[in-house]
Amino acid sequence: MPAVRDSWGSRLAIIMAVAGSAIGLGNFLRFPAKAVANGGGAFMIPYLVSLLLLGLPLMWIEWTLGRYGGGFEHGTAPGIFHSLVRKNRFIKYFGVIGIFGPLVIFIYYTFIESWTLAYSFFALSGHYAALADQASMQSFLRGFQGLERNTFFQSLGWAYVFFSITFLLNIGVLFYGIRGGIARLCNWAMPALFICALILLIRVVMLGAPMAAHPDWNILNGFGFLWNPDFSALTKAKVWLEAAGQIFFTLSVGIGVILTYASYLSKGDDVVLSGLSAASTNEIAEVILGGSIIIPAAFVFFGPTDMQAIAESGTFNLGFVTMPLVLNHLPWAAFFGFCWFFLLFLAGITSSVSLAQPCVAFMEDEFDINRQKAVAIFSVVAFVLCQPAVFFLGQGVVDELDFWGGTVFLVVFATIETVMFAWVFGIEKAWDEIHQGAALRIPRFYKWVIKYVTPLFLFFILGMWLWQEWIPVIFMKHVSAASRPYVLCTRIGLALIFIILAVLVKLAWRRKRRLREEPL
């Protein structure tokens, strides 16, 4: 007999867990970098449009699909899709992406997450306290990452120690399950994260007068940079695509994680209010806190031109280079530095455990493997898969993993599940399922949005990418000659992972069919 499926225990627990999954490094690192690189206020208009037409509909779709599939004791996309159309024997294979995507993101995200734990320690220990310019702080980061040997780091040793600690912390949380591990972590990590963010926000608001040479580099203009739009930038397709992409990242939609989390709900649980609450919590963290800490602070110290150049030079530079430099100029620099990086660590670990959960749930639900054994299998496989991201960061492996796992397949999967929900399952049945147990009703306008606007928006994004980027990506035109063998091997590895997962789905259903046919 399979074990009884785990549960969250309360509505607050699931909201905090989904918010923890959504509130990640993208809120405090990727969002500020994208907003600055795309003109600040000009970015916010397509961002908010994408939230309303893409983010919220996908949130409700995934919460509803997850709860529906959970009623059939399926916690991952293959089983959930099979529940929607039980007569179609091939439909479950579309759900392989919902396991593949989270796994691919986990194997590089955990390494990046470990940097934030390391920098939390470095802030308190004063390892970078004497650094006063962009070049030296950049060299410190590159040395830690193992990209160069310098006076700060002679090997990857420090990075690997913190990666190992971070990996073990993730596995420890997963080991104790949904209620005892993930929910317990998120219940204290989310309040701690918001406390750290509020401390930093108050300190940023209290920044003193600007330098005499640049009187316009003040805190009010720093906030204004994010909210004063340049309407001419709205004619650029790139700004709209970047904004839509950020919505995917920030809400964790199109990955498969919310499907799994929502599968532990009961039939009467309110997915409308819960989804809206999780999305609202995430947007507060990203726009109000993430956008109001690093952007105004960088504006005051570096001005709009240099700040934009820093953001365009790399996603991590604002968070790991610019922000520590800003905090080094303030009293209590070690304390504020710790708050910043520990905030990032909490955001990271609540997201990374959610990325691991679909793989664990797949083994539990489809192969009837107990929790501890499933986590043990996952930990061994994932640890091995993480190694290329750790050792070949400089050869483009992490960028390649992020591109396919965290960008392309994310949009592809969101498109598939939207079409499945609105057209295959049927919008009338879908609308009724959304409102099962709901305390409030979604405006009927969203029925039309879910059926037509969201899928067309997604097809547009995919079409634009295929038109503009397909050929250069496939032929690695933007990859250096030295990195091409590593990128090619990464692609082969990704293809093998996908094939293995598809085979496991086939074996799982063959096993279930055999068990049904056996006499009692």
Separation CA 361–CA 6 (nearest Å): 10
The C-alpha atoms of residue 59 and residue 63 are separated, in whole angstroms, by 6
Tokens standing for 225?
A: 């940079």
Provide CB contacts within 8 A for 111, sequence distance 6+: 159, 163, 386, 389, 390, 393, 398
Mean pLDDT of the chain: 88
* pTM assigned to the model: 0.91
Instruction: Taking each helix axis as running N to C, give the angle between helix 219-227 and helix 41-50, from 0 to 180 degrees, rounded to the nearest 10.
Output: 40
pLDDT at 3 over 60: no
368, 74 contact by CB (below 8 A): no
pLDDT band at 1 (very low <50, low <70, confident <90, very high): very low
* Contact (CB, 8 A) for 307 and 327: no
Give the per-residue pLDDT at 475: 84
- Domain ranges across the chain: 11-391+405-462
pLDDT one-digit tens code per residue, 460-480? 878 877 777 778 888 888 889
CA separation for the pair 31, 177 (Å, rounded): 31
pLDDT at 212: 52
Please compute the mean of the pLDDT values over residues 22-39 and round it to a whole number: 81
What are 520's two structure tokens? 């009692």
pLDDT-derived band at 227 (thresholds 50, 70, 90) equals: confident
The correct answer on CATH 1.20.1740 for the domain covering 11-391+405-462 is: yes
Q: Quick one: pLDDT band at residue 213, thresholds 50, 70, 90? A: low
Q: Under a CB-based contact definition with an 8 Å cutoff, are residues 27 and 285 in contact?
A: yes
Q: Which of 19-28, 29-38, 252-261 has the lowest mean pLDDT?
A: 29-38
Whether the pLDDT of residue 210 is over 70: the answer is: no
**Is residue 203 pLDDT above 70, yes or no?**
yes
Least confident interval from 77-86, 172-181, 309-318: 309-318
How far is it, in rounded angstroms, from Cα 73 to Cα 508?
Answer: 14
Span 159-199, pLDDT tens digits: 999 999 999 999 999 999 999 999 999 999 999 999 999 99
